[in-house]
């Protein structure tokens, strides 16, 4: 297996099966720090730099929490408007990264431009973690999702997934790459205007990501082991920020999951995942059902980021 030490985590395209399980194994080994809420000292000599050019609740804070749990240090920005990238100067990725690489040992970047973390990695002497790039990818989210399923089911093979919502989403791209590595049956439900781009679909199918497109959740909910959701009421992910509109619109029933639907039609052990934040596509009455795992992911997300930081920074091999 390739070493993770010093590696950028930019995409799941080149992650092989064994690498998922290595990340999961280390996440479980480091779990006591999170479970017991006691910070350790594994990364006490290291500093994480967070460079977030787009809003985030979960990804930035889970990555920072993971670094704190391992005794590391954290610096960075969560609002690029307060940096030279967001004012008159519009400082570019290359110049910014040539600074950040001296401020820490790993850079966690979210950006509204697809490929920005890849560009950062080209110019950085320290590893870069892609925390979401435009519509591109969101590898750490999908590692958290697959870890959650692996913990629940003990395998990632032989499962039927329903991917529902906006297929342009970076999570859906990373999930497609991930599922291509496992024995997966996949249904995709998305409005036409939010369907995969043709070039992405071709690439994913060439990699072995096979799926069947359906119109309505009711057609496939009875087969699903996992329902993976994203909103169809979405901001534009190519913008640094989008303010709320008076009328955001409503989610059509085709793309909605409710407690009633799950209890009437889903398998008794089906799992609902959502990267969050949600709109009206996932009703709150699902939160306290046996199907819900999206809150479990808040905890698992810290474990996975601890694992990645420890592996990338060479504290675990
Ligand atoms: N899942 C996710 O990316 O959430 P945030 O936008 O809050 O980081």
For 37-43, the CB contacts below 8 A with 24+ separation are 39/68, 39/69, 39/70, 39/71, 40/69, 40/70, 40/71, 41/70, 41/71, 42/70, 42/71, 42/310, 42/315, 42/316, 43/67, 43/70, 43/71, 43/72, 43/309, 43/310, 43/313, 43/315
Question: What is the rounded average pLDDT for all residues in the chain?
Answer: 97
pLDDT number for residue 138:
98
pLDDT band for position 245 (50/70/90)?
Answer: confident
Is residue 200 assigned to a domain?
yes
Ligand 1 neighbour 173 (Cβ under 6 A):
no
pLDDT number for residue 190:
98
Asked whether the predicted pLDDT for residue 248 surpasses 90, the reply is no
pLDDT number for residue 187:
98
pLDDT tens track for 123-172: 999 999 999 999 999 999 999 999 999 999 999 999 999 999 999 999 99
Is residue 11 assigned to a domain?
no
Please answer whether residues 40 and 66 qualify as being in contact, where contact means their C-beta atoms are separated by less than 8 angstroms: no
Q: Which ligand 1 atom is the nearest neighbour of the CA of 131? A: 3
Q: How many domains does the chain fold into?
A: 2
Q: Residue 62 Cα, ligand 1 centroid: separation in angstroms?
A: 10
Q: Which ligand 1 atom is the nearest neighbour of the CA of 110? A: 8
Q: Residue 290 Cα, ligand 1 centroid: separation in angstroms?
A: 23
pLDDT tens track for 21-31: 999 999 999 99
Write out the DSSP string of 123-148. H-SS-EEEEEETTS--HHHHHHHHHH
Kindly state whether residues 60 and 187 are assigned to the same domain.
no
Asked whether the predicted pLDDT for residue 246 surpasses 90, the reply is no
Kindly state whether residues 107 and 184 are assigned to the same domain.
no
Please answer whether residues 124 and 104 qualify as being in contact, where contact means their C-beta atoms are separated by less than 8 angstroms: no
Asked whether the predicted pLDDT for residue 181 surpasses 90, the reply is yes
Q: Residue 131 Cα, ligand 1 centroid: separation in angstroms?
A: 9
Kindly state whether residues 59 and 184 are assigned to the same domain.
no
Asked whether the predicted pLDDT for residue 247 surpasses 90, the reply is no
For ligand 1, atom 4, the nearest C-alpha belongs to 58
- Residues of the domain holding 105: 17-137+298-312
Kindly state whether residues 128 and 222 are assigned to the same domain.
no
Ligand 1 neighbour 210 (Cβ under 6 A):
no
Is residue 151 assigned to a domain?
yes
Is residue 173 assigned to a domain?
yes
pLDDT band for position 121 (50/70/90)?
Answer: very high
Is residue 51 assigned to a domain?
yes
* Overall average pLDDT of the 249-276 stretch: 97
Ligand 1 neighbour 144 (Cβ under 6 A):
no
pLDDT tens track for 39-88: 999 999 999 999 999 999 999 999 999 999 999 999 999 999 999 999 99
pLDDT number for residue 131:
98
For ligand 1, atom 7, the nearest C-alpha belongs to 57
Ligand 1 neighbour 140 (Cβ under 6 A):
no
Ligand 1 neighbour 59 (Cβ under 6 A):
yes
pLDDT number for residue 96:
98
Ligand 1 neighbour 54 (Cβ under 6 A):
no
What DSSP character marks residue 187?
A: E
pTM, full prediction: 0.98
Kindly state whether residues 127 and 200 are assigned to the same domain.
no
pLDDT number for residue 132:
98
Q: Residue 264 Cα, ligand 1 centroid: separation in angstroms?
A: 30
CATH number of the domain that residue 81 is part of: 3.40.50.1370
């Amino acid at each position: 297996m390739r070493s993770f030490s010093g590696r950028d985590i930019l995409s799941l395209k080149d992650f092989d099966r064994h690498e998922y399980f290595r990340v999961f194994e280390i996440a479980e080994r480091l779990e006591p720090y999170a479970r017991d809420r006691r910070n350790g000292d594994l990364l006490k000599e290291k500093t994480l730099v967070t460079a977030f050019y787009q809003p985030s609740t979960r990804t930035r804070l889970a990555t920072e929490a993971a670094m704190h749990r391992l005794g590391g240090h954290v610096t960075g920005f969560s609002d690029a408007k307060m940096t030279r990238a967001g004012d008159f100067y519009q400082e570019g990725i290359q110049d910014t990264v040539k600074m950040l690489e001296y401020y820490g040992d790993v850079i966690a970047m979210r950006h509204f431009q697809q490929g920005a973390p890849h560009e950062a990695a080209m110019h950085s002497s320290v590893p870069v973690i892609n925390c979401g790039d435009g519509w591109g990818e969101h590898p750490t989210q999908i590692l958290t999702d697959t870890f959650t399923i692996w913990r629940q089911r003990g395998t990632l093979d032989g499962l039927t997934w329903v991917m529902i919502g906006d297929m342009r989403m970076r999570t859906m791209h990373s999930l497609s790459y991930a599922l291509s590595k496992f024995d997966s049956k996949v249904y995709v439900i998305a409005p036409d205007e939010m369907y995969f781009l043709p070039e992405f679909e071709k690439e994913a199918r060439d990699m072995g990501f096979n799926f069947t497109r359906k119109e309505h959740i009711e057609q496939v909910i009875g087969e699903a082991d996992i329902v993976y959701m994203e909103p169809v009421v979405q901001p534009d992910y190519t913008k640094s920020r989008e303010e709320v509109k008076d009328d955001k619109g409503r989610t059509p029933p085709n793309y909605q999951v409710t407690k009633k639907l799950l209890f009437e039609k889903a398998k008794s052990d089906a799992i609902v995942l959502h990267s969050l934040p949600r709109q009206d596509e996932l009703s709150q009455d699902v939160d306290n059902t046996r199907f819900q795992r999206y809150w479990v992911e808040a905890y698992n997300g810290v474990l996975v980021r601890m694992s990645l930081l420890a592996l990338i920074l060479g504290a675990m091999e």
